[in-house]
Amino acid sequence: MTTSISNAAYQAYEKRLMKEIRENPVPQHLAIIMDGNRRYAYEQGMPAVAGHIKGKNKLEEVTDWCRELGIKVLTVYAFSTENTRRTEDEVNMLYRLFEESFLKVLTDERVHREHIRIRVIGKRDFLPEGLKEAIDRAEKSTENYDNYFFNIAVAYGGREEILEAIKEIAREVKEGKIEPDDITEEMFSQHLYTADLPDPDLILRTSGEVRISNFLLWQMAYSELYFTDVYWPGFRKIDFLRAVRSYQMRKRRFGR
Protein backbone atom coordinates (compact mmCIF):
# COMPACT_ATOMS: atom_id res chain seq x y z
CA MET A 1 0.00 0.00 0.00
CA THR A 2 2.81 2.41 0.95
CA THR A 3 4.64 1.62 -2.29
CA SER A 4 1.53 2.34 -4.35
CA ILE A 5 1.07 5.71 -2.65
CA SER A 6 4.75 6.54 -3.19
CA ASN A 7 4.54 5.62 -6.89
CA ALA A 8 1.39 7.69 -7.33
CA ALA A 9 3.03 10.71 -5.69
CA TYR A 10 6.14 10.27 -7.85
CA GLN A 11 4.06 10.12 -11.03
CA ALA A 12 2.03 13.17 -10.03
CA TYR A 13 5.20 15.16 -9.32
CA GLU A 14 6.77 14.04 -12.58
CA LYS A 15 3.66 15.07 -14.49
CA ARG A 16 3.66 18.50 -12.84
CA LEU A 17 7.34 19.03 -13.60
CA MET A 18 6.81 18.05 -17.22
CA LYS A 19 3.95 20.54 -17.54
CA GLU A 20 6.05 23.37 -16.08
CA ILE A 21 9.01 22.56 -18.31
CA ARG A 22 6.94 22.46 -21.49
CA GLU A 23 5.84 26.06 -20.82
CA ASN A 24 9.42 27.37 -21.12
CA PRO A 25 12.35 27.02 -23.55
CA VAL A 26 14.43 23.86 -23.06
CA PRO A 27 18.19 23.60 -23.67
CA GLN A 28 19.06 23.24 -27.31
CA HIS A 29 22.22 21.31 -26.43
CA LEU A 30 22.54 19.16 -23.29
CA ALA A 31 25.90 17.65 -22.32
CA ILE A 32 26.18 14.94 -19.67
CA ILE A 33 29.12 13.60 -17.67
CA MET A 34 27.84 10.10 -16.93
CA ASP A 35 29.56 9.22 -13.67
CA GLY A 36 29.07 6.59 -11.00
CA ASN A 37 28.63 3.26 -12.81
CA ARG A 38 31.23 1.44 -10.74
CA ARG A 39 30.22 2.94 -7.40
CA TYR A 40 26.59 2.10 -8.13
CA ALA A 41 27.58 -1.52 -8.83
CA TYR A 42 29.71 -1.83 -5.69
CA GLU A 43 26.97 -0.44 -3.46
CA GLN A 44 24.51 -2.91 -4.99
CA GLY A 45 26.94 -5.81 -4.46
CA MET A 46 27.39 -6.29 -8.21
CA PRO A 47 30.54 -6.53 -10.33
CA ALA A 48 31.67 -3.36 -12.11
CA VAL A 49 30.56 -4.71 -15.49
CA ALA A 50 26.96 -4.81 -14.27
CA GLY A 51 27.16 -1.11 -13.43
CA HIS A 52 28.46 -0.30 -16.90
CA ILE A 53 25.69 -2.32 -18.53
CA LYS A 54 23.06 -0.54 -16.45
CA GLY A 55 24.70 2.76 -17.37
CA LYS A 56 24.46 1.88 -21.07
CA ASN A 57 20.77 1.07 -20.68
CA LYS A 58 20.21 4.32 -18.78
CA LEU A 59 21.68 6.28 -21.68
CA GLU A 60 19.06 4.80 -24.00
CA GLU A 61 16.36 6.02 -21.63
CA VAL A 62 17.84 9.50 -21.41
CA THR A 63 18.00 9.87 -25.20
CA ASP A 64 14.26 9.14 -25.25
CA TRP A 65 13.64 11.77 -22.54
CA CYS A 66 15.60 14.35 -24.56
CA ARG A 67 13.51 13.75 -27.66
CA GLU A 68 10.34 13.90 -25.58
CA LEU A 69 11.28 17.43 -24.44
CA GLY A 70 12.58 18.51 -27.84
CA ILE A 71 16.27 18.73 -26.87
CA LYS A 72 17.96 18.50 -30.27
CA VAL A 73 21.60 17.91 -29.34
CA LEU A 74 22.88 15.48 -26.69
CA THR A 75 26.59 15.02 -26.02
CA VAL A 76 27.72 12.46 -23.45
CA TYR A 77 31.12 11.81 -21.88
CA ALA A 78 31.40 8.04 -22.21
CA PHE A 79 35.13 7.32 -21.99
CA SER A 80 37.95 9.77 -21.32
CA THR A 81 41.59 9.43 -22.32
CA GLU A 82 42.30 8.99 -18.59
CA ASN A 83 39.95 5.98 -18.50
CA THR A 84 42.44 4.04 -20.63
CA ARG A 85 44.56 3.74 -17.46
CA ARG A 86 42.02 1.45 -15.80
CA THR A 87 42.65 -2.29 -15.64
CA GLU A 88 43.03 -4.02 -18.99
CA ASP A 89 40.02 -6.25 -18.31
CA GLU A 90 37.74 -3.30 -17.56
CA VAL A 91 38.93 -1.28 -20.54
CA ASN A 92 38.45 -4.20 -22.91
CA MET A 93 35.00 -4.84 -21.47
CA LEU A 94 34.05 -1.21 -22.07
CA TYR A 95 35.35 -1.40 -25.63
CA ARG A 96 33.12 -4.44 -26.23
CA LEU A 97 30.08 -2.62 -24.84
CA PHE A 98 30.80 0.37 -27.05
CA GLU A 99 31.24 -1.83 -30.12
CA GLU A 100 27.95 -3.63 -29.46
CA SER A 101 26.14 -0.31 -28.99
CA PHE A 102 27.45 1.19 -32.23
CA LEU A 103 26.61 -1.92 -34.22
CA LYS A 104 23.12 -1.83 -32.73
CA VAL A 105 22.65 1.59 -34.34
CA LEU A 106 22.55 -0.07 -37.75
CA THR A 107 19.24 -1.77 -36.95
CA ASP A 108 17.85 0.51 -34.21
CA GLU A 109 14.38 1.42 -35.42
CA ARG A 110 14.23 4.53 -33.20
CA VAL A 111 17.44 5.98 -34.63
CA HIS A 112 16.26 5.71 -38.21
CA ARG A 113 12.65 6.65 -37.57
CA GLU A 114 13.63 9.78 -35.62
CA HIS A 115 16.56 10.62 -37.94
CA ILE A 116 19.17 10.78 -35.17
CA ARG A 117 22.69 11.50 -36.33
CA ILE A 118 25.34 9.57 -34.38
CA ARG A 119 28.84 10.93 -34.07
CA VAL A 120 31.87 10.07 -31.94
CA ILE A 121 34.30 12.74 -30.74
CA GLY A 122 37.74 11.88 -29.39
CA LYS A 123 41.09 10.34 -30.29
CA ARG A 124 40.12 7.34 -32.35
CA ASP A 125 43.73 6.27 -32.72
CA PHE A 126 43.50 5.08 -29.11
CA LEU A 127 40.73 2.61 -29.96
CA PRO A 128 40.90 -1.01 -31.18
CA GLU A 129 40.18 -1.68 -34.85
CA GLY A 130 36.89 -3.47 -34.25
CA LEU A 131 35.50 -0.53 -32.30
CA LYS A 132 36.71 1.99 -34.88
CA GLU A 133 35.01 0.00 -37.62
CA ALA A 134 31.74 -0.13 -35.64
CA ILE A 135 31.91 3.64 -35.10
CA ASP A 136 32.50 4.25 -38.80
CA ARG A 137 29.51 2.10 -39.72
CA ALA A 138 27.21 3.81 -37.21
CA GLU A 139 28.24 7.27 -38.35
CA LYS A 140 27.92 6.37 -42.02
CA SER A 141 24.41 4.95 -41.54
CA THR A 142 23.18 8.20 -39.95
CA GLU A 143 25.29 10.85 -41.68
CA ASN A 144 22.35 12.35 -43.57
CA TYR A 145 20.06 12.66 -40.53
CA ASP A 146 19.48 16.06 -38.97
CA ASN A 147 16.46 15.90 -36.64
CA TYR A 148 18.54 15.07 -33.57
CA PHE A 149 22.27 14.90 -32.90
CA PHE A 150 23.76 12.36 -30.51
CA ASN A 151 27.48 12.80 -29.82
CA ILE A 152 29.47 10.28 -27.81
CA ALA A 153 32.85 11.33 -26.40
CA VAL A 154 35.10 8.27 -26.49
CA ALA A 155 38.85 8.46 -25.75
CA TYR A 156 38.15 12.16 -25.36
CA GLY A 157 39.99 14.88 -23.47
CA GLY A 158 39.15 18.58 -23.57
CA ARG A 159 42.76 19.74 -23.33
CA GLU A 160 43.77 17.36 -26.11
CA GLU A 161 40.97 18.71 -28.29
CA ILE A 162 42.17 22.28 -27.75
CA LEU A 163 45.79 21.32 -28.44
CA GLU A 164 44.80 19.61 -31.69
CA ALA A 165 42.93 22.75 -32.76
CA ILE A 166 45.96 24.92 -31.95
CA LYS A 167 48.26 22.65 -33.95
CA GLU A 168 45.91 22.68 -36.94
CA ILE A 169 45.65 26.48 -36.90
CA ALA A 170 49.46 26.77 -36.51
CA ARG A 171 49.93 24.60 -39.60
CA GLU A 172 47.54 26.82 -41.56
CA VAL A 173 49.47 29.92 -40.48
CA LYS A 174 52.78 28.29 -41.42
CA GLU A 175 51.41 27.36 -44.84
CA GLY A 176 50.26 30.93 -45.40
CA LYS A 177 46.57 30.02 -45.53
CA ILE A 178 45.70 32.46 -42.74
CA GLU A 179 47.36 35.32 -40.88
CA PRO A 180 47.68 35.33 -37.07
CA ASP A 181 45.36 38.34 -36.90
CA ASP A 182 42.70 36.31 -38.70
CA ILE A 183 42.35 33.98 -35.71
CA THR A 184 39.10 34.62 -33.84
CA GLU A 185 37.00 32.73 -31.33
CA GLU A 186 34.69 31.67 -34.14
CA MET A 187 37.59 30.39 -36.24
CA PHE A 188 39.01 28.49 -33.30
CA SER A 189 35.63 26.88 -32.60
CA GLN A 190 35.53 25.65 -36.19
CA HIS A 191 38.66 23.57 -35.52
CA LEU A 192 37.05 21.64 -32.65
CA TYR A 193 35.23 18.30 -32.81
CA THR A 194 31.94 20.16 -32.27
CA ALA A 195 32.53 22.69 -35.07
CA ASP A 196 29.03 22.52 -36.57
CA LEU A 197 27.12 22.31 -33.28
CA PRO A 198 25.97 24.96 -30.80
CA ASP A 199 27.84 25.11 -27.50
CA PRO A 200 26.12 23.28 -24.62
CA ASP A 201 23.40 25.24 -22.85
CA LEU A 202 23.46 22.87 -19.88
CA ILE A 203 26.14 20.50 -18.60
CA LEU A 204 24.91 17.89 -16.13
CA ARG A 205 27.07 15.60 -14.00
CA THR A 206 25.88 12.68 -11.92
CA SER A 207 27.46 10.90 -8.89
CA GLY A 208 28.00 13.88 -6.57
CA GLU A 209 31.36 14.92 -8.00
CA VAL A 210 31.54 18.68 -8.59
CA ARG A 211 34.08 19.07 -11.36
CA ILE A 212 34.19 19.08 -15.17
CA SER A 213 36.93 16.46 -15.62
CA ASN A 214 38.38 17.77 -18.88
CA PHE A 215 35.07 17.79 -20.76
CA LEU A 216 34.24 20.38 -23.46
CA LEU A 217 36.52 22.94 -21.83
CA TRP A 218 36.27 25.54 -24.60
CA GLN A 219 32.60 24.92 -25.39
CA MET A 220 31.38 25.25 -21.78
CA ALA A 221 32.42 28.90 -21.34
CA TYR A 222 28.82 30.06 -20.94
CA SER A 223 27.07 26.79 -20.10
CA GLU A 224 24.89 26.36 -17.04
CA LEU A 225 26.22 23.62 -14.73
CA TYR A 226 24.11 21.16 -12.76
CA PHE A 227 25.41 18.51 -10.36
CA THR A 228 23.40 15.73 -8.77
CA ASP A 229 24.52 13.12 -6.23
CA VAL A 230 22.64 10.32 -8.00
CA TYR A 231 24.84 7.68 -9.64
CA TRP A 232 24.32 7.44 -13.40
CA PRO A 233 22.57 4.02 -13.48
CA GLY A 234 20.15 5.28 -10.81
CA PHE A 235 19.41 8.54 -12.63
CA ARG A 236 15.61 8.87 -12.83
CA LYS A 237 13.39 10.83 -15.16
CA ILE A 238 12.46 13.07 -12.27
CA ASP A 239 16.18 13.85 -11.75
CA PHE A 240 16.44 14.70 -15.43
CA LEU A 241 13.42 16.99 -15.27
CA ARG A 242 14.75 18.74 -12.16
CA ALA A 243 17.98 19.53 -14.02
CA VAL A 244 16.10 21.02 -16.96
CA ARG A 245 13.82 23.01 -14.66
CA SER A 246 16.85 24.36 -12.78
CA TYR A 247 18.30 25.53 -16.10
CA GLN A 248 15.03 27.27 -16.99
CA MET A 249 14.78 28.96 -13.58
CA ARG A 250 18.31 30.35 -13.89
CA LYS A 251 17.56 31.71 -17.36
CA ARG A 252 14.42 33.44 -16.11
CA ARG A 253 16.19 34.77 -13.02
CA PHE A 254 18.97 36.43 -15.01
CA GLY A 255 16.80 37.37 -17.98
CA ARG A 256 18.82 35.34 -20.48
| Residues with catalytic function | 35, 83
The answer to whether the beta carbons of residues 147 and 114 sit under 8 Å apart is yes
Distance CA 218, CA 222 (A): 9
- Which residues fall within 8 angstroms of residue 49, CB to CB, at 6 or more apart? 41, 90, 93
Distance CA 220, CA 162 (A): 13
Q: Backbone dihedral region of 207: left (phi > 0), alpha (psi from -120 to 50 degrees) or beta?
A: left
Residues in the chain: 256
